[in-house]
Amino acid sequence: MNKFSKTIIIFLLVFSTVHLFRDMLQIYQVNTPLATILKTNHSFCRPFCDYVTLPPEIFIIFASWFVLQRKKFGQLGWIIYAVFVMWMEVYIFYLIKETLLHL
C-alpha cells in the first residue's frame, strides 16, 4: 500500500470514528460542542436520520482497520472509498436541498 492510500485510509478511519462518537452523543441528546458542530435539521425524518449514518461509519471503521492490518489496499480499499464518496454525495445533496428551500 502506498503512502497516499494509507494516509487516506487513516483519515477515513479517524473521521468515521469521530463521526460515530458524535452521532451517539446526538442520539442520546448530550449537548457538547462536538455534538452540535454541523448538526442538521432532522425534523422531517426523525428518528430514522439519527441512525442512517451508523452502518457506513461502522463499515468504514472496521474495513479501514482491516486494510491497515493486512497492509494491502486492494478491492476493500476501493470499496471504502466508494462508501465514503456516496455518503458525502448524499450529505452534499441534503445541504443543497436545505439551502434552496430556505432561500
Q: Which three cell numbers stand for residue 45?
A: 425524518
Instruction: Using alpha carbons, list the distances in angstroms from residue 41 to 18, 83, 95, 97.
Output: 20, 23, 10, 12
Residue with cell 430556505: 102
Q: What is the pLDDT of residue 91?
A: 83
Q: What is the pLDDT of residue 53?
A: 86
Instruction: Using alpha carbons, list the distances in angstroms from residue 35 to 2, 18, 51, 58.
Output: 34, 10, 14, 18
Quote the CA–CA distance of 6 and 67 in Å, as a whole number.
9
Average pLDDT over residues 85-91: 91
15-58 pLDDT per residue, tens: 999 999 988 988 898 888 877 776 666 666 667 777 888 999 99
Which residue has better confidence, 98 or 81? 81
Cα 65 off chain centre by: 15
